[in-house]
């Protein structure tokens, strides 16, 4: 039975890899400057790591926060904004997380973005995390979105390289995951996505505001209600956990988000059968078979590792390094340990924040989709 999940993973990644070989950056000279960059920041101003990068966009940047932060936080944020001509938006109905730590659950981040979108008056908007940046200017991204007529666009995340084994493993992991955007552009990334302001505003008004899986939910809603979604392989440089403690905290939360998406919202299998069956059946439902293969090792386990090695080497030969050889074991550990506790992580977040994360594209806050 171990071959079922392995072959499914191989099929998923191989199809994405084959499709990705035919795509790349468009040689376009389209530029468009009518956009706003929304950057959520709360808890502590030290999380705003991309100030130097954002400075080139000055008044087009809006630092989005809550109305319940500390005086020290507001003073730090105001100093940054004044220095670079940024704007600041305070969501009047929200208070801080209170811990001073980066939040990995709750509704704060998405409430801030939902509220801030109501006051944006530019044609396009870019959602950008406080630790992310780009090599190419955003004017090119927005120009390409406008030229292709997209309402919502996913982009390509690239983890900044550093001499840390955990970060290098995650760089390979992200590279594989980003290939999927070529065949499923609605898999937008939370670190950055962009589109027409009226479309992003409409989608966020329908959002459950459940943090983990919020980016995939955004794409699911946009696709379900008929917006034109595309993928632009515009690279966004972002950070990744560089300690085991930070990595574990992030991945534990992610496992809860995956359970929320694939099990709680399994009805979306009708619209996205391959993706949902992969997540619900292969990744979550088949984990007992993976444990059985490890407890009673044999040829199936050897075959699984061999298939994954061949796949990873084939897809990422140009970016090869010694850490690539650990990828099968890295993935196996995640699927053996993190996947089974996704239910507990999800229940903890759902109960704590009184939010089950049920996706309702036509929910109470929904507005009619625009053409």
pLDDT digits (tens, 9 = 90+) for 146-175: 999 999 999 999 999 888 999 999 998 898
Q: Return the closest-CA partner of residue 4 out of 269, 314, 288.
A: 288
pLDDT computed for residue 37 by the predictor? 98
Neighbouring C-alpha atoms within 13 Å toward the C-beta of 318: 4
Q: Is the pLDDT of residue 213 over 50?
A: yes
Q: What are phi and psi of 152, to 5 degrees?
A: -135, 140
pLDDT computed for residue 138 by the predictor? 97
pLDDT computed for residue 122 by the predictor? 98
Topology at the third CATH level for domain 3-352: Spore Coat Polysaccharide Biosynthesis Protein SpsA; Chain A (3.90.550)
Beta-carbon contacts of 112 under 8 Å, excluding residues fewer than 6 positions away, are 40, 42, 64, 65, 66, 89, 91, 94
Q: Are 265 and 359 in contact (CB under 8 A)?
A: yes
Residue-range domain boundaries for the chain: 3-352
Q: Is the pLDDT of residue 366 over 70?
A: no
What percent of the chain stands above pLDDT 70?
86
Q: Stretch 34-49: mean pLDDT, rounded? A: 95
Q: Return the closest-CA partner of residue 152 out of 117, 187, 177.
A: 187
Q: Is the pLDDT of residue 318 over 60?
A: yes
Beta-carbon contacts of 129 under 8 Å, excluding residues fewer than 6 positions away, are 39, 40, 190, 191, 192, 238
Q: Is the pLDDT of residue 16 over 60?
A: no
Q: Is the pLDDT of residue 104 over 50?
A: no
- Alpha-carbon torsion, ordered 146, 195, 117, 38, to 10 deg: -100
pTM over 0.85, yes/no: yes
Q: What are phi and psi of 229, to 5 degrees?
A: -115, 135
Q: Is the pLDDT of residue 269 over 90?
A: no
pLDDT bracket for residue 371 (50, 70, 90): very low
The secondary structure of residue 189, as a DSSP letter, is B
Strand order in the sheet with 35-40: 87-91, 61-66, 35-40, 124-128, 192-196, 152-159, 229-238, 133-134
Beta-carbon contacts of 88 under 8 Å, excluding residues fewer than 6 positions away, are 62, 63, 65, 77, 78, 81
pLDDT bracket for residue 290 (50, 70, 90): confident
Hey, is 58 helix, strand or coil? helix
Q: Average per-residue pLDDT in the chain? A: 86
Q: Is the pLDDT of residue 178 over 60?
A: yes
Q: Return the closest-CA partner of residue 181 out of 327, 15, 318.
A: 15
Q: Residues 4, 270, 222, 281: is their CA dihedral positive or negative?
A: negative
- Alpha-carbon torsion, ordered 216, 220, 221, 224, to 10 deg: 170
pLDDT computed for residue 142 by the predictor? 97
The secondary structure of residue 33, as a DSSP letter, is -
């Amino acid at each position: 039975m171990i071959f079922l999940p392995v072959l499914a993973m191989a099929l998923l990644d191989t199809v994405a890899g084959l499709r990705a070989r035919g795509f790349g950056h468009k040689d376009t000279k389209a530029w468009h400057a009518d956009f706003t960059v929304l950057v959520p920041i709360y808890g502590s101003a030290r999380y705003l790591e991309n100030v130097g990068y954002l400075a080139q966009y000055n008044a087009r940047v809006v630092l989005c926060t809550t109305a319940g932060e500390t005086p020290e936080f507001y003073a730090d944020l105001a100093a940054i904004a004044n220095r670079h001509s940024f704007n600041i938006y305070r969501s009047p109905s929200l208070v801080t997380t209170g811990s001073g730590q980066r939040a990995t659950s709750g509704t704060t981040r998405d409430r801030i973005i939902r509220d801030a979108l109501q006051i944006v008056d530019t044609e396009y908007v870019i959602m950008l995390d406080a630790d992310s940046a780009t090599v190419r200017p955003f004017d090119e991204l927005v120009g390409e979105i406008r030229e292709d007529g997209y309402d919502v666009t996913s982009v390509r995340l690239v983890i900044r390289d550093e001499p840390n084994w955990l970060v290098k493993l995650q760089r390979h992991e992200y590279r594989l995951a980003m290939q999927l955007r070529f065949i499923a552009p609605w898999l937008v990334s939370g670190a950055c996505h962009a589109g027409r302001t009226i479309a992003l505003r409409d989608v966020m008004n329908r959002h459950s505001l459940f943090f983990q899986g919020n980016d995939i939910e955004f794409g699911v809603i946009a696709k379900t209600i008929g917006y034109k979604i595309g993928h632009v392989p515009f690279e966004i440089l972002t950070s990744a956990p560089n300690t085991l403690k930070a990595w574990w905290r992030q991945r534990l939360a992610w496992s809860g988000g995956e359970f929320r998406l694939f099990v709680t919202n399994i009805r979306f299998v009708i619209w996205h059968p391959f993706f949902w069956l992969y997540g619900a059946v292969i990744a979550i439902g088949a984990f007992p078979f993976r444990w059985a293969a490890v407890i009673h090792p044999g040829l199936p386990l050897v075959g699984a590792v061999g298939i994954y090695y061949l796949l990873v080497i084939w897809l990422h030969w140009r970016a090869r390094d010694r850490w690539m050889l650990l990828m099968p074991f890295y993935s196996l550990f995640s699927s053996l340990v993190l996947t089974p506790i996704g239910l507990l992580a999800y229940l903890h977040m759902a109960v704590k924040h009184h939010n089950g994360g049920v996706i309702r594209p036509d929910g109470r806050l929904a507005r009619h989709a625009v053409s």
